[in-house]
Amino acid sequence: MDQLKNYREVGIFDLLSAPLNPIGAFDAEQFKKDVRALLDERSEDKFVAVDLTGLDFLYSDAYNALLLFQTELSARGGMMAMLTNNTTITDGLKKAGLDKKLKVFAFEAEMMAFSLHNQAPQEPSMITIDPAEPVAEQQPQVASQNTYSGAAAPAPNTSLERRTGSHRKFTKSFNAISKDEKKLAKKGMNMPFDEEKSPARTVLTIILLVILIGGLLAYLLI
């Protein structure tokens, strides 16, 4: 566009610079001319914004001009927006009851984010889903799981599967090992006494036999 140079494209918006009158206030009449010239030259545009950065207040004629183009652009499926982070201006919108009718962006980054959100449904999706595959069966990938490319991933081996939390498969066997260790420890403490019983009996038997044989020999010798 050759005649109108006081605007730039930010996302889906044509962002106009705020026209100022000789005293530095917002010039509502010049604003109307600028927006009308822009829409005449770019009739397909539906989203227009005005950069109010640096302005501390707006008069009622500015709000009326903004509301006028909001009504026109809304009929096209678009909107009239403002770029400002000045609380005096936003408070003035609320007092005038226009905060629900006029979109306000504090920063250009918010305007870009809004543009991307509104463009996404109109653009072809970068991710395609096979219609034959039910969406409900798709599982999100977890960074700790192994991923496979190409062929389908093999079914997990349930006999080797390990689970965390209260569903650990190895909890029962772990407790069994602990019990067995306790039994073995107890049995190990008793084993020395069990082993001593057999030699004691043998010694006692030998002593009795020696006494018996000694008594028998003494009797025979006498």
Tens place of pLDDT for every residue, the chain, 222 residues? Answer: 445 568 899 999 999 999 999 999 999 999 999 999 999 988 888 999 999 999 999 999 999 999 999 999 999 899 999 999 999 999 999 988 888 889 999 999 999 999 998 875 554 444 444 444 444 444 444 444 444 444 444 454 544 444 444 444 434 444 444 445 555 445 554 444 444 455 677 878 888 888 888 888 878 877
Domain that holds residue 68: 7-122
Q: Of 88, 122, 156, which closes a domain? A: 122
- Tell whether 199 and 101 lie within a shared domain: no
- Tell whether 115 and 198 lie within a shared domain: no
Q: Of 103, 122, 141, which closes a domain? A: 122
CB hemisphere CA count around 116 (13 angstroms):
6
- Tell whether 12 and 110 lie within a shared domain: yes
Q: Of 65, 91, 122, which closes a domain? A: 122
- Is 220 domain-assigned? yes
Indicate the number of domains in the chain.
2
- Tell whether 118 and 12 lie within a shared domain: yes
**pTM for the full model?**
0.52
* DSSP helix/strand/coil, 162: coil
What's 14's domain CATH number? 3.30.750.24
